[in-house]
Structure 1
């Protein structure tokens, strides 16, 4: 009598596990660099920034976009090396080529956004870090570029094309967009606006608490923003029509149209420029509302210290930069209010 074959006591897998990433048999240098980029993005999403908070996806996108720009340039140059083979001289050539197309501001941004990548390479592969080399050519931020303040006519026209806050307007997008534009006039950053949640609001007192950048929400964190009466009304109307959305039970204040989830930065940018086009204007950037709010507060006679508190600045450098655009106009108005002095 033959012995029966013994069975395994382990649970049999019904599916074949797939590898985390397909590895080409004979990868090109472009594929090798793509693998580096994939590992770097994974590292960022699993790491905290210098403030001890997870990197936001927007930051991950900016950092990896800079690496992709470097990868494209290396491909155009026919370079066979992967990223670990880059030295200071080669990186200087990349930055100069980037400067020719993107000028000072763009080059400063990509240079800053590449720094964490070379720190990661240094730690993972024990490579020399060009950013530690004094021969690396630095590109400072552009000097003398003043923020652009939006005209009162433009803001008024944007509010008009979104229903002007009329109580009979029931269009989902118009009510939402009108409320968003009103909140932007309070001086919040785009990122702060998009991370507002239902529990961020105290409409009875006309206040909102914005989450600090990097999306931290520890108890007591976040500064308090006073809301104008018309902003309170606009947000209240939005909360009523928001109940029609299939994701209205979620925590995020701003929801996408056609029952999409929370509003994203790209959605906000597209909305503002669509509304600007409807009002007959060129494109606008969300951050320009923050410049404008700073000028509004200073023009109303608010002290610099109070403006810094509301805007969330600890250093007066930002106040001076934001206030620069309309400084002459405010000075003239202040002088005229004095009338005849003698």
Structure 2
């Protein structure tokens, strides 16, 4: 009889171990390859990687072997320590993954087919009022440094244009053309033009002179003349918010919401706002229009259809 020694052969290993991990690795590579082919943003790829790995870890079971019951168990466990919004964010990643797996015949049944996102109560999004914006600018101006002046200009650009943080850090000096800025690194890959008010245009021109010529062509730079990273901007504005004693969250996203609200209250129509903000469809823009109930009430009192009628 032949003596057994050494490592088991591939065929022998298959007799012992389930090859689901191997199939999942193959599926995972194919899914990411498809994402690359579709030219999804690096941030989107990171989102898929992080969410899929976290979901797999929660149930300690290969995703490729999940059933609808596993998805339901995942939801129940996730709700114990995650917000509804976060659970839905993870479910969206799983849906994309399983739709791809089913389409490419890696799996026979799609476990997400009849699973819907969790219902979540729509919350009013915080925005900054005039006093808070003015206090924030005063707080920044007290510093009297290159970095503080740069941050003041960044704040003005955020409030004036509603650009996303990722879009702002991608702006180059040549993209600034008088009272307009070309936004090239957009979320939906469609370039768009945003426009500047007189004060923002003046401050950008002053900033560019103060900035001078450096190795990078990015508009906003660090005190070491290097490109700014997004995290540093978020951190600095959180700090400014605390110094200005603003209880609300002070962040680039808050500035974007503030711009949207101010434009709506000034009478800008939804289609124009959609273009300004770079939304790919009207759904999100409509939500902005319906967000600020108390302000809409004021508008109704001011411009109500029955106002002025002697009835």
| Pairwise TM-score range, normalised by the shorter structure | 0.7 to 0.9
- Aligned match of 1:47 in 37, 55, 59? 37
Asked if the contact 1:183/1:231 (under 8 Å) is kept, the reply is: yes
The Cα shift of 1:65 comes to: 1.5
Is 1:252 the counterpart of 2:218? The answer is yes
Stretch deviating more after TM superposition (304-313 or 155-164): 304-313
Q: How many residues are matched?
A: 290
Q: 1:280 to 1:312 in 2, by over 3 A?
A: same
SS at match of 1:130: coil
The Cα shift of 1:269 comes to: 1.8
The Cα shift of 1:47 comes to: 2.5
| Aligned residue in 2 for 1:161 | 139
- Aligned match of 1:319 in 275, 285, 290? 285
The runs of 5 or more residues in structure 2 that have no matched partner are: 1-16
| Aligned residue in 2 for 1:99 | 79
Is 1:82 the counterpart of 2:89? The answer is no
Whole-angstrom distance in 1 between the partners of 2:92 and 2:146: 40
SS at match of 1:63: helix
Aligned-residue CA RMSD (Å): 3.6
Asked if the contact 1:207/1:227 (under 8 Å) is kept, the reply is: yes
The Cα shift of 1:70 comes to: 1.0
Measured against aligned partners, the alpha-carbon deviations of 1:8-52 in whole angstroms (never above 9, x if no partner) come to: xxxxxxxxxxxxxxxxxxx9x9x979967984785366321xxxx
Measured against aligned partners, the alpha-carbon deviations of 1:197-239 in whole angstroms (never above 9, x if no partner) come to: 2222112xx11122363473xxxx5222121112112222322
The Cα shift of 1:195 comes to: 2.2
- Aligned match of 1:240 in 198, 201, 209? 209
Asked if the contact 2:124/2:292 (under 8 Å) is kept, the reply is: no
Q: 1:212 to 1:102 in 2, by over 3 A?
A: same
The runs of 5 or more residues in structure 1 that have no matched partner are: 1-26, 49-53, 76-80
Whole-angstrom distance in 1 between the partners of 2:225 and 2:27: 34
| Aligned residue in 2 for 1:196 | 171
| Aligned residue in 2 for 1:144 | 122
Whole-angstrom distance in 1 between the partners of 2:273 and 2:104: 44
| Aligned residue in 2 for 1:9 | none
TM-score scaled by length of structure 1: 0.71
Whole-angstrom distance in 2 between the partners of 1:120 and 1:178: 45
Q: 1:242 to 1:116 in 2, by over 3 A?
A: farther
- Give 1:1-342 correspondences, 5 Å limit: 39=29, 43=33, 46-48=36-38, 54-75=39-60, 81-122=61-102, 126-131=106-111, 133-134=113-114, 137-140=115-118, 142-163=120-141, 169=144, 171-186=145-160, 187-203=162-178, 206-211=179-184, 213-214=186-187, 216=189, 221-243=190-212, 248-260=214-226, 262-282=227-247, 283-313=249-279, 315-332=281-298, 335-336=301-302, 341=308
Asked if the contact 2:27/2:106 (under 8 Å) is kept, the reply is: no
Greater fraction of residues in helix: 2
